[in-house]
Structure 1
């Protein structure tokens, strides 16, 4: 996504005095500008990916401004052209405006009026190029789920590829919303264990009273109301991958037993006499600094050092702002496909938000913003809603939430119902209206 500072104004006028004066005006306004004495020289410097604006006098020897305008339209119909006209040329300029010129300025014109017109043209060109990028992204999805060409993301993709096939435990660090579970799933899918289970456990959500049973399971009659033995999440991941998400939130009381699992590769269910041998790979994630937590006594230091075999760090979005445009384009394409909306068009308000916002929620926040933009839920900053009723917009948003719940639970309706907090009958009714079938999501990983 380009900014005004990345763009340029091409200014052409055969009158050296007027040319120098107008170039100085643009310079003083902080706008990059390049001057030309004739239209042919300017035309030779423009290609189809030109990201700037052309300002041209109409009356010039050789190729005049109108001929230049016609040649530019043949090259790229969306290059903004501002024509400078004398009083006698106003009818010609008006005709050019009808043919697609961006604006015309009758001489003499005020410097602030000139600068304002150029800034509007530059903003228009940015929107044109951004929308082209969005369409291109929709036509060619990225090769990797880890989107971005910043040095940090290139290194991360290389590290994931190297580590995936190694039988080592991995610690993934990153703020909330950076994509830690995505990286964990990529490591699993590219590993020799890809055909086996990928069991994700949200450690921060484990209730203290039942955390041990949830993780380690229990023997028959070992706990109240537990007549039959029960396998825990750790045993369920044997021969596959155990993903301990947000391990920095794991209850301290559970950590010694987890340390034994990591060291001995066996699990002792609650109340059992014999441990169960395990063959698993462990991937853990943390949004806080585990070493600092260990030094504060809020996390076991021996568990930290056992987890810290290979460490992958995911940078926050504010530290890789060059990836925002590419990520947004991918999320818009995903939102259009999921919601069935028509073609999305970038607006200046959305551009400003993408460029100026700090994104404390990282990639997850950006994805939510993209979906809201596609669904026209941005308090007037989204695309036009003239042809879409409120019920249509609500239905599209509900369909998106249903899809997300079914994908997150791999088609498990009971878990999806709990996730959304609605009655099962309501869920089935809405699923039928959206044309969704739970079975479609059961084979996905």
Structure 2
């Protein structure tokens, strides 16, 4: 994805012959040298998020290279600075590295040495900027109160739009998605963005509550209603009065209980076991399932009338495979959360790591991704921070994507982040990615991306 021909290198030296020789070397290697004869001129031309490397002589009239290094470190500590030292001036080189220089070149130096140092510095800069943009995007998304739907793909943006719309109206909702896609997060997002946000959110996993006690759990019971009922119990529905009830894995609810749930939904009232008194309820019900309830109803595995009662509004939750371009952003979010919770440093995410993430099949969806992120923070140092190592076992089970598909996914992810970063501004994106306008438009068409969609998102945030 990286195109060296589009990458600028700032070259600062007061000696004309060195400027000419070094700039010719860089041009032959495919870079774009920006030449300055003084540190002051280079600083005035330095722009935010400069994508390249700065190479400067140390001994210059006026501001010298060491002073230039210190000033750049204050402005942008991630910008790689390479300093050129005189022959045998080891103490100066050591001081420069201690002050944060990326590397140093000792005069006279070979052109190959200059190109190699610049190449490594530019790769470091690319990764630094990519992580910076990911973090900035996360901070922008995290400014939204309540649970956040992290991602920029059309699938997740459409879901976020529907969550916002549905949260403002009083209707029951059915969430449909694979295991681990975040149905509980979507349910909480709907609740907290609604007028019920300050009231109880009661989550019930219908597949985890024993069938013998689920009726009492949901509806409550009176003292003496059955053996062991030594005192009155308020059920989950009654406890959620004024708020939201989230019924996860609704397909696991026993058929006998589905009849009573249908009555609660229709009458908005509950009757405790052992009582003949109806208790009025002011609740919203959000149900979630990983199976096709209509198909289950057709085969007798789920009540058809309850299905149609729940199916007022159905929200499909996309799997991670359907939103692969969001994977790097989600992963960055999860490692930041895990690092904050554990007090450990959040490791950087490099190009090899992104490729490994995009190639994995993610059968466990977002939940699996979060678990891998937590292991990456906790065990990354022992694995040399290599995601390939952490994913190796799971990758054998899930199958590896062909190389061409991995490259396409990585390319689409990079373009997607550039679209977000520059809010759909094509000239800025072309400059950032180092591609001609026609090439960018061809790639946008190839990946089904539209710059206008990202301008619209920027306007509405």
The verdict on a shared fold, with TM-score over 0.5 as the criterion, is yes
Contact 2:55 2:84 in 1 (8 A): yes
Partner of 2:189: 186
Structure 1: how far apart are the matches of 2:188 and 2:10? Answer: 55
Contact (CA 8 Å) 1:172, 1:283: kept in 2 or not? yes
Distance change in 2, residues 1:91/1:354 (3 Å): same
Q: For 1:45 and 1:291, how far apart are their aligned partners in 2?
A: 64
1:417-432 equivalent positions in 2, closer than 5 A:
none
CA deviation vs aligned residue, 1:39-86 (integer Å, no higher than 9, x gap)? 799877641212333568999xxx99999978866753432245799x
Structure 2 equivalent of residue 209 of structure 1: 212
1:5-56 CA-to-partner distances (Å, cap 9, x unmatched) read 7995324788889867755645xxxxxx435576799877641212333568
Q: Which residue number corresponds to residue 150 of structure 1?
A: 152
What are structure 2's unaligned runs of at least 5 residues?
12-17, 387-461
- Cα distance in 2 for partners of 1:382, 1:305 equals 49
* 2:7 corresponds to: 9
Per-residue Cα deviation, 1:110-166 (whole angstroms, up to 9, x for no partner): 5xx777644532342245443797599789953333153515444444433332232
Structure-2 change in CA distance of 1:301 and 1:92 (3 Å): farther
Q: Distance in 1 between matches of 2:5 and 2:324?
A: 18
Alpha-carbon separation, structure 2, partners of 1:36 and 1:335 = 41
> How far off its partner does 1:205 sit?
0.9
CA 287–117 in structure 1, closer or farther in 2 if over 3 Å, else same = farther
Within the candidate set 180, 198, 202, 1:199 is matched to 202
Q: Report if aligned partners of 1:202, 1:244 keep a CA contact under 8 Å in 2.
A: yes
User: Residues 135 and 274 of structure 1: is their aligned pair in 2 closer, same or farther, counting only changes over 3 Å?
Assistant: closer
Q: 1:260 and 2:289 equivalent?
A: no
Matched, 1:53 2:62: no
Compute the RMSD of aligned alpha carbons: 4.9
- Cα distance in structure 2, aligned partners of 1:374 and 1:226: 47
Instruction: Call closer, same or farther: CA 1:328–1:348 in 2, change over 3 Å.
Output: closer
Paired residues, what number?
A: 367
Give the Cα–Cα distance (whole angstroms) in 1 for the partners of residues 287 and 368 of structure 2: 22
What is the match of residue 243 of structure 2? Answer: 240
Q: 1:69 to 1:10 in 2, by over 3 A?
A: farther
The 5 Å alignment of 1:10-49 reads 10-11=8-9, 23=27, 25-26=29-30, 33-36=31-34, 46-49=46-49
Secondary structure at 2:211 match in 1: coil
Whether contact under 8 Å (1:83, 1:93) holds in the other structure is no
Q: Cα–Cα, structure 1 residues 159 and 67, in superposed 2: closer, same or farther, change >3 Å? A: same
Partner of 2:207: helix, strand, or coil? helix
Distance in 2 (CA, whole Å) between partners of 1:180 and 1:228 is: 34
User: After superposition, where does 1:353-364 map in structure 2 within 5 Å?
Assistant: 353-354=353-354, 356-357=356-357, 358=360, 359-364=362-367
Measure, in 2, the Cα distance between the counterparts of 1:314 and 1:322: 16
TM-score by length of 2: 0.60
**Residues 74, 292 of structure 1: alpha-carbon distance in 2 compared, 3 angstrom cutoff:** same
1:439 matched residue in structure 2 = none
Match of 1:399 in 2: none
Contact 2:10–2:35 under 8 Å retained in 1 = yes
* Shift, 1:244, TM fit: 0.6
Paired residue secondary structure (2:286): strand
Q: TM-score, normalised by structure 1?
A: 0.62
Per-residue CA distance 1:270-320 (angstroms, 9 max, x = gap):
565565443321111223444454455543343222212223344344544
Moved over 6 A (4+): 12-18, 37-45, 55-59, 63-71, 135-140
